[in-house]
């Protein structure tokens, strides 16, 4: 994991579905946007920090997995209501980015710094939606953790992404979600997305086409999945972009090949499903 975090971002291969792609009259763009590889420029963004915590978990089939802890924000939050996020928040005037990530993790899910070790960071993401620069810190726990809703006003529930799905089952765990309006564009766009499970011991089911769904032009030939058939909590936006970078870095470290063959191997390993998730907040065709 440490080696994966040391790669320059320019050398890390992002498969095409890890980019934001615009949709126009049934056609998806071939050139996408990545907030890590083409940072948004803001004059004086607020500083924020989040913690990407990986911890061991024995899944229902007895397989030793690693999972990432996420929180579902409450419907009363000022921004990104009811969306999935990493523990984290704004940096106070008297603290470092690292300390802010640790403080927010303790306040939101009750996990003190003694239960994990920060091993590095990912590329900061600047977001217009929050007028902020968000720095993700990566931490590893050597034993299972037990996060809980330490701040019920902020945290509605706790969920998990499993590394086995993210790395080894991309064809059934990776998808894209269409958003008809977002912080990035007022045009339809595909965002990378994943689905989080409600327990460390439970891996989310495979994504698949909804039996009741009728294809429309904006699906761009992909298999539509309705919100009622989502196999877990939808993870998209900034949280999914951060997840994409972590997965791409680990995939590069696993392949451990010369640059040319490494890119092809990463793309093969991370080949996604053919599913497009319908926006649960839009009145899109069913």
pLDDT tens for 44-99 read: 789 999 999 999 997 666 668 999 999 999 988 767 677 999 999 999 999 999 99
pLDDT at 285: 46
| Domain annotation covers residue 231 | yes
pLDDT at 40: 81
How much of the chain exceeds pLDDT 70, in percent?
93
- Give residue for tokens 């993210």: 166
Average pLDDT in the 175-198 region? Answer: 88
On whether the CB atoms of residues 113 and 102 are closer than 8 A, the answer is yes
Q: Which residues contact 76 (CB under 8 A, 6 or more apart)?
A: 153
| Domain annotation covers residue 237 | yes
| Domain annotation covers residue 283 | no
The alpha carbon torsion through 248, 113, 86, 17 (nearest 10 deg) reads 0
Which pLDDT band holds residue 30 (cuts at 50, 70, 90)? confident
How much of the chain exceeds pLDDT 90, in percent?
77
82: left (phi over 0), alpha (psi -120 to 50) or beta: left
Average pLDDT, the chain: 92
What is the count of structural domains for the chain? 1
pLDDT at 90: 94
**How many Å apart are CA 256 and CA 181, to the nearest integer?**
39
User: On the CB side of 267, how many CA atoms lie within 13 Å of its CA?
Assistant: 9
pLDDT at 284: 46
Domain range spanning residue 251? 2-277
| Domain annotation covers residue 96 | yes
110: left (phi over 0), alpha (psi -120 to 50) or beta: left
What pairing do the DSSP bridges indicate for beta strands 189-196 and 233-235? antiparallel
On whether the CB atoms of residues 58 and 201 are closer than 8 A, the answer is yes
- Give residue for tokens 């392949």: 255
Q: From residue 254, how far is each of 13, 14, 241, 267 by CA, in Å?
A: 13, 15, 20, 12
| Domain annotation covers residue 285 | no
pLDDT at 157: 97
**How many Å apart are CA 34 and CA 20, to the nearest integer?**
6
**How many Å apart are CA 248 and CA 271, to the nearest integer?**
12
The pTM for the full model equals: 0.94
Report residue 100: phi and psi, to 5°: -65, -45
- CATH number, domain with residue 237: 3.90.79.10
Q: Which residues contact 68 (CB under 8 A, 6 or more apart)?
A: 52, 53, 54, 86, 160, 161, 162, 163, 243, 246
Calculate helix-pair angle for 237-255, 259-269, nearest 10 degrees.
130
On whether the CB atoms of residues 271 and 171 are closer than 8 A, the answer is yes
| Domain annotation covers residue 284 | no
Is the model more confident about 130 or about 145? Answer: 145
Q: Which tens digit of pLDDT belongs to each residue from 250-273?
A: 999 998 777 667 899 999 999 999
Q: Which tens digit of pLDDT belongs to each residue from 189-240?
A: 999 999 999 999 999 999 999 999 999 999 999 999 999 999 999 999 999 9
| Domain annotation covers residue 254 | yes
**How many Å apart are CA 247 and CA 14, to the nearest integer?**
9
Average pLDDT in the 95-113 region? Answer: 98
The alpha carbon torsion through 28, 30, 36, 40 (nearest 10 deg) reads -70
Average pLDDT in the 11-39 region? Answer: 91
When mean pLDDT is compared across 20-29, 77-86, 107-116, 234-243, the lowest value belongs to: 77-86
CA torsion sign for 226, 228, 230, 236 is positive
| Domain annotation covers residue 286 | no
């Amino acid at each position: 994991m440490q080696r994966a975090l040391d790669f320059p971002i320019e050398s890390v291969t992002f498969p095409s579905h890890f980019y934001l792609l615009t949709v126009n009259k049934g056609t998806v763009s071939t050139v996408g946007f990545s907030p890590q590889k083409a940072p948004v420029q803001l004059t004086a963004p607020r500083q924020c920090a989040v913690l990407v915590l990986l911890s061991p978990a024995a899944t229902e089939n007895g397989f030793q997995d690693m999972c990432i802890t996420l929180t579902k924000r409450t419907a009363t939050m000022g921004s990104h209501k009811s969306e999935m996020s990493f523990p984290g928040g704004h940096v106070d005037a008297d603290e470092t980015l690292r300390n802010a990530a640790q403080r927010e993790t303790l306040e939101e899910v009750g996990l003190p710094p003694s239960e994990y070790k920060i091993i590095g960071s990912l590329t900061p993401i600047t977001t217009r939606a929050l007028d902020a620069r968000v720095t993700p810190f990566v931490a590893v726990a050597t034993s299972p953790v037990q996060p809980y809703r330490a701040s019920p006003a902020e945290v509605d529930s706790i969920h998990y992404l499993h590394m086995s799905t993210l790395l080894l089952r991309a064809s059934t765990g990776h998808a894209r979600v269409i958003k008809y309006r977002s912080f990035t564009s007022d045009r339809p766009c595909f965002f990378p997305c994943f689905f989080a499970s409600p327990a460390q011991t439970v891996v989310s089911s495979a994504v698949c086409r909804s039996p009741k769904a009728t294809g429309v032009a904006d699906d761009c030939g992909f298999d539509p999945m309705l919100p009622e058939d989502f196999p877990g909590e939808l993870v998209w936006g900034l949280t999914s972009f951060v997840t994409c970078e972590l997965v791409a870095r680990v995939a590069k470290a696993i392949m451990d090949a010369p640059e040319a063959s490494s890119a092809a191997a990463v793309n093969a390993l991370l080949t996604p499903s053919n599913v497009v998730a319908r926006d649960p907040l839009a009145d899109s065709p069913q």
